[in-house]
Structure 1
Amino acid sequence: MGVLDESGYFTQTNPAWYKTLGYRASEVETRPFMEFVHLEDVARTEKAFHDIKRGMPILKFRNRYRHRDGHYRWLSWNCVPEGDVFFCSARDITAEKEKEDALLSHEQEAALREQFIAVLGHDLRNPIAATGAAVRMAKREPQTDKARELLDMATGSLDGMSRLVNHVMDFARARLGGGIDVDITEERPLRPALEQVLDEVRLAHEEVVIEAEFDFVDPVRCDPDRVSQLFSNLLTNSVTHGLRSRPIRVAARDEGGDFVLSVGNTGEPIAPEALPKLFEPFKRSEVRESQEGLGLGLFIAHEIALRHDGEIEVQSDADWTQFTFRMPRNDA
């Protein structure tokens, strides 16, 4: 507490000044109070002082005062005019202000994350969709064999770009937002979604033999779109790293109350030291070299598994590498 005069000097101060700011009464009362105010707060403080000299009380006015050791403390002031002096009390709110600033920073970061995800969704997806529509329209028109070949190549490139954007979107949601979104349901069958992935991968990689066996009760309580995305990422990973001369084996089955989906291939085994970071994002070059992708496929598959209360197990040796997704069925 203190008594302030119109010239800007404290004429009386209590011992709390020393406890809060480290100054003795003689140090505070012989210097204009503005000398203690943080430079960025001077203009606001001068205005508040002008208002109180006009007879207006000041309530919960905040500014920073310099501590004797040089750092600044946030104070909340209440000042009441009484004749030609002003009775002032201040409360140290430094800890409260730091919490407020941290919360504001968190809210600003959250807003920035949402803006980033929205930009990805709009500014990247829309041009790809528009270009894809133009290519499809061109393919309906009479074309030379060479032109049709080029349009098919363009379609493949656009599909790859779309998958890449989707992966980055999922990564952004998983790391920057509230996690990959899932729509758990028992109303949609899973088998057709898995079979569609098989058809697409077989069509894109005609040189690869994929043996599949599905033996489970459908529907499965899950998000079929996300589980099929997980399957696609695991299968594409096997196509990338497996030997072309040996088949990839895929199986989906019920096992002890769980739904189990496995994808296996022959090929170079995964190094033991690489296994702990296999599902980290952007680890492609540190685990195994590949000619395409950002190294997000296994990360996203792992995130989808977690969103289904499941897990992905990896077994790899010189003869066989297998990824196994397991989740509780939780049937009603």
Structure 2
Amino acid sequence: MTEKKADLDYKQLFDDAPCGYLLVDTGGVIVGANAWMSTVLGYPAGGLDGKRLRDIFSIAARILYETNLAPLLKLQQAVSEVTLDLKRVDGTAVPVIMAASSAPNSSGLEDMTRIAFVHAGERRLYERQLVSARDSAEKDLAQQQSDGVLREQFIAILGHDLRNPLASISAAARILGKETLSDRSRQVIALMQGSALRMSGLIDNVLDFTRARLGGGIGVELHPEQALEPLLDQVVQELRASNPAHEIVATYDVTQPVKCDASKIGQLVSNLLGNALTHGDRATPIHFHAETTDSGLFRVWIANGGPSIPEEVIPKLFDPFARGESHGYKEGLGLGLFIASEIAKAHGGTLVVRSSEGETRFTFEMTI
């Protein structure tokens, strides 16, 4: 192959390359540009020769090159994967990725900087999308943090501003109940006490539901309870007082200490008994039993009469705001069973339901 032929092949490869090539001298003047560069920037063939490199850069790219890239080239003889904009002859921008080398080689170009460019339109679009997604995520995070403050305020209102007046109403009803009253007045006070009890349970359930959803579960403080039976009996007595027409038969065999959060166990029992009172057959007594076993378990079960829960309802029975509608099991399951289930989980225990014609039984078990 002759030297002239080799020169021709080299020039042809240089011009036909699917990317841009520039040769730039030490003074920053373009001494060679392939056809890709001329076409992309809107210059005629050879129209870039003799122009300064800075003239084909956008203002931002010029600043980047002169303050960052040129010093790097002197220091380490190469830069790569630099995203910047070139300037077309009509002033519009062309997004590109640049790589450059100024290391000496055997081709006699040791005093030249060799620069390659490829289109970066899709990459720049992707980068803009990433930036937009990041900005959107930051805004969403800020909104969630703001919402979190509102939720905390909501919890505070429920936990303080509603509990305190409710406690006052309950105390006032108890005081009036000790006075000499007519039968009608005693009925009214009983209704007030029942309503206050239901409202207190509702506040507890909403608070725990909110905490469970925000914090990933209901928090409990476990302490060895030497006398759990009086607390359970208090829950039963309160529900008896507010539901005098529905008999509750309670038995206890709690002979061992139970490591638990007593207030939460009381809430679990209250929710399960409240569910039985709402959905059970009023002509059939509700049976409540609590016990500790020789195998190291604390067990509570509550059974009510009435039609069975439909099979299709049972898998969703412990979901929040679950609704079932068939025979005695109609609307109104709400949060009670969900909160009871979450309390059981927080104690490392289980809450299961078995339902057949004539009896529905919820059983809670945990290790003591």
Per the TM superposition, whether the score is higher than 0.5 is yes
Query: Which string of whole-angstrom CA distances, capped at 9 and with x for unpartnered residues, describes residues 73-120 of structure 1?
Result: 469xxxxxxxxxxxxxxxx97887677667656544544432332232
Counterpart position of 2:303:
264
How far does residue 166 in structure 1 lie from its aligned partner after superposition? 1.8
Segment of structure 1 superposing worse, 257-266 or 155-164 = 155-164
How far does residue 198 in structure 1 lie from its aligned partner after superposition? 1.9
Partners of 2:268 and 2:340 within 8 A in 1: yes
How far does residue 299 in structure 1 lie from its aligned partner after superposition? 0.7
1:289 maps onto 2:350 in alignment: no
Q: After superposition, where does 1:44-55 map in structure 2 within 5 Å?
A: none
Select 1:208's aligned residue among 242, 246, 252: 246
1:301 maps onto 2:340 in alignment: yes
1:26 maps onto 2:87 in alignment: yes
Q: After superposition, where does 1:313-332 map in structure 2 within 5 Å?
A: 313-329=352-368
Distance of 1:264 and 1:153 partners within structure 2: 25
Counterpart position of 2:201:
163
Task: Name the CA shift for 1:175/1:28 in 2 (closer, same or farther; >3 Å).
Answer: farther
1:233 maps onto 2:294 in alignment: no
Distance of 2:127 and 2:292 partners within structure 1: 63
Distance of 1:28 and 1:158 partners within structure 2: 81
Query: Which string of whole-angstrom CA distances, capped at 9 and with x for unpartnered residues, describes residues 270-307 of structure 1?
Result: 000001100011113557325xx661111111010000
How far does residue 200 in structure 1 lie from its aligned partner after superposition? 1.7
Distance of 1:213 and 1:196 partners within structure 2: 13
Could you state the TM-score of these two structures normalised by the residue count of structure 2?
Answer: 0.60
Distance of 1:144 and 1:215 partners within structure 2: 39
Task: Name the CA shift for 1:245/1:110 in 2 (closer, same or farther; >3 Å).
Answer: same
Counterpart position of 2:98:
none
Select 1:180's aligned residue among 192, 213, 218: 218
Q: After superposition, where does 1:93-172 map in structure 2 within 5 Å?
A: 104=142, 107-132=145-170, 149-172=187-210
Distance of 2:288 and 2:59 partners within structure 1: 82
Partners of 2:225 and 2:260 within 8 A in 1: no
1:273 maps onto 2:273 in alignment: no
Task: Name the CA shift for 1:145/1:266 in 2 (closer, same or farther; >3 Å).
Answer: closer
Does the residue aligned with 1:309 lie in a helix, a strand or coil?
coil
Does the residue aligned with 1:179 lie in a helix, a strand or coil?
coil
Task: Name the CA shift for 1:28/1:132 in 2 (closer, same or farther; >3 Å).
Answer: farther
Segment of structure 1 superposing worse, 96-105 or 107-116 = 96-105
Aligned length: 274
Q: After superposition, where does 1:188-199 map in structure 2 within 5 Å?
A: 188-199=226-237
Does the residue aligned with 1:230 lie in a helix, a strand or coil?
helix
How far does residue 245 in structure 1 lie from its aligned partner after superposition? 2.5
Does the residue aligned with 2:259 lie in a helix, a strand or coil?
coil
Unmatched 5+ residue regions in structure 2?
Answer: 1-52, 70-78, 95-119
Partners of 2:224 and 2:257 within 8 A in 1: yes
Does the residue aligned with 2:275 lie in a helix, a strand or coil?
helix
What letter corresponds to residue 26 of structure 1 in structure 2? Answer: K
How far does residue 130 in structure 1 lie from its aligned partner after superposition? 4.9
Partners of 1:212 and 1:250 within 8 A in 2: yes
Partners of 1:9 and 1:30 within 8 A in 2: no
Segment of structure 1 superposing worse, 308-317 or 211-220 = 211-220
Task: Name the CA shift for 1:129/1:9 in 2 (closer, same or farther; >3 Å).
Answer: same
State the structure with more CA Rg.
2
Partners of 1:113 and 1:177 within 8 A in 2: no
Task: Name the CA shift for 1:163/1:67 in 2 (closer, same or farther; >3 Å).
Answer: farther
Task: Name the CA shift for 1:138/1:265 in 2 (closer, same or farther; >3 Å).
Answer: closer
How far does residue 313 in structure 1 lie from its aligned partner after superposition? 1.3
Unmatched 5+ residue regions in structure 1?
Answer: 34-65, 76-91
Partners of 2:193 and 2:242 within 8 A in 1: no
Distance of 1:32 and 1:3 partners within structure 2: 14
Partners of 1:309 and 1:327 within 8 A in 2: yes
Distance of 1:3 and 1:192 partners within structure 2: 87
How far does residue 311 in structure 1 lie from its aligned partner after superposition? 0.7
Q: Percent identity?
A: 41
Partners of 2:256 and 2:292 within 8 A in 1: no
How far does residue 186 in structure 1 lie from its aligned partner after superposition? 0.6
How far does residue 263 in structure 1 lie from its aligned partner after superposition? 0.9
Partners of 2:351 and 2:363 within 8 A in 1: yes
**How large is the Cα RMSD of the aligned pairs?**
4.2
Q: After superposition, where does 1:75-90 map in structure 2 within 5 Å?
A: none
1:219 maps onto 2:253 in alignment: no
Task: Name the CA shift for 1:150/1:249 in 2 (closer, same or farther; >3 Å).
Answer: closer
Does the residue aligned with 2:212 lie in a helix, a strand or coil?
helix
